[in-house]
Amino acid sequence: LKWMDPLKMGIAYFQRFPDERTPVWGNPCSDPRHLEILSSDFNCSQLALPNAVIVGPQKTGSTALYAFLKLHPNVQSNVENNVTYEEPQFFGGKAYLNGLDWYLNQFPFDSGVEGQQVLFEKSATYFDSPDAPRQMNALIDEAKLIIILINPAKRAYSWYQHMIAHKDPIAMKYSFAQVLAATDNDSERKLWKLRQRCIAPGRYAHHLDRWLEYYSPNRLLIVDGEQLKDDPVPVMNDVQQFLGLPLIDYKQLLKFNEHKGFYCSQAEGNKTKCLGKSKGRGYEPMGAELTDSLAKLYLQDNIALHKMITKMGWRTPRWLQEQLVKLS
Ligand code: A3P
């Protein structure tokens, strides 16, 4: 046995195993080695970790689902933080390096509060993150995951509009058609990057494959985001059933707001409480030509998604059926 300065030892170790530089946080209460060394005031019976996560992707209606699910009396969500607001964006994100305590602080509740059956969080960044499935599984392998899918062409356009609203200089300079026509060889690297941010998350089957490496199909619920927008009550019934919640009547809780053009929560005095301006933005429709070219671009991905959905025994979203019929 040889003694070595701990710092030097650490450096030598990570030079040899660079993949291990990012730690993987597991649940200390389910690891006997950790249990032995936990401080005496760490109370495992009070440990509150989410048992359900809405993983996105972005621009599919994830905030609406988050807001609607929070209306359920047996459901509790994370608290807001001052960097990424209502989304912890822990797994696969910068916050992961803040450590497990940081994540636990997003849920400052006693576990097992009476009547609270579901503790959940929503971070739409998880869906297409290469690291999120592995990191999430290491901590909450029993969680149920909700994934919302809309026609990926609409998602891509919504992302472009999101960047316009945030005054992204590249989105402001180029039309959506120009963004889609960008290539990897473009001198404007940021244009290619924007195209990738519009297109890549919509390759749904590719990302789902990664989730299925870590979670069994019956832990995943695929929500039709277009149905969530147009007719949310049956969707909320499916979500409640999937999460094992007592069914409440969402007809009493949600109401269509003509002015907003979306379903909103019922508030006192026959009023409604809608999501903010950044959700459900009004913008010019995409146009037939771009709609067609995106439908072709996503055809193989959508075929792969359909095969996967059939194999896993999930319900096929209506928009997917329509896309496949249109191009067959
Ligand atoms: P647009 O603003 O492009 O219309 P996310 O919350 O995942 O970022 O998704 C935002 C999208 O949710 C919006 O995109 C909007 O179309 C959709 N959406 C679905 N139901 C909604 C609702 N009840 N209120 C507001 N937006 C909703």
- Residue 327: its pLDDT value, please? 80
Is residue 119 assigned to a domain? Answer: yes
59 is catalytic: yes
Is residue 36 assigned to a domain? Answer: no
Adjacent-strand bridge partners of 319: none
Q: What is the residue type of 76?
A: Q
Is residue 10 assigned to a domain? Answer: no
CATH code: domain of residue 175: 3.40.50.300
Count of domains forming the chain: 1
pLDDT at 185 over 80: yes
Query: Using 50, 70 and 90 to split pLDDT, how confident is the model at 109?
Result: confident
- Residue 47: its pLDDT value, please? 87
Is residue 1 assigned to a domain? Answer: no
Is residue 6 assigned to a domain? Answer: no
First to last CA, the chain: 68
Is residue 210 assigned to a domain? Answer: yes
- Domain membership of residue 272 as a residue range: 21-27+44-327
pLDDT at 112 over 60: no
Is residue 93 assigned to a domain? Answer: yes
Q: Maximum CA pair distance of the chain?
A: 76
Nearest atom within ligand 1 for CA of residue 62: 7
Query: Using 50, 70 and 90 to split pLDDT, how confident is the model at 29?
Result: very high
Q: Which of 145, 147, 204, 194 is nearest to 172 (CA)?
A: 194
Q: Which of 123, 142, 110 is nearest to 244 (CA)?
A: 142
- Residue 115: its pLDDT value, please? 67
In sequence order, which residues have a C-beta less than 8 Å from that of residue 202 and are 6 or more positions away? Answer: 57, 152, 153, 155, 156, 298, 301
Pick the catalytic residue from 59, 122, 144, 154. Answer: 59
Nearest C-alpha to atom 6 of ligand 1 is from which residue?
A: 63
- Secondary structure (H, E, C), 74-137: CEEECCCECCCECCCCCCCCHHHHHCHHHHHCCCCCCCCCCCCCEEEEECCCCCCCCCHHHHHH
Is residue 54 assigned to a domain? Answer: yes
- Residue 151: its pLDDT value, please? 98
Tens of pLDDT, residue by residue over 139-183, are 999 999 999 999 999 999 999 999 999 999 999 999 999 999 999
Distance from Cα 259 to the centre of ligand 1, integer Å: 15
CA 211 to mean position of chain CA atoms: 12
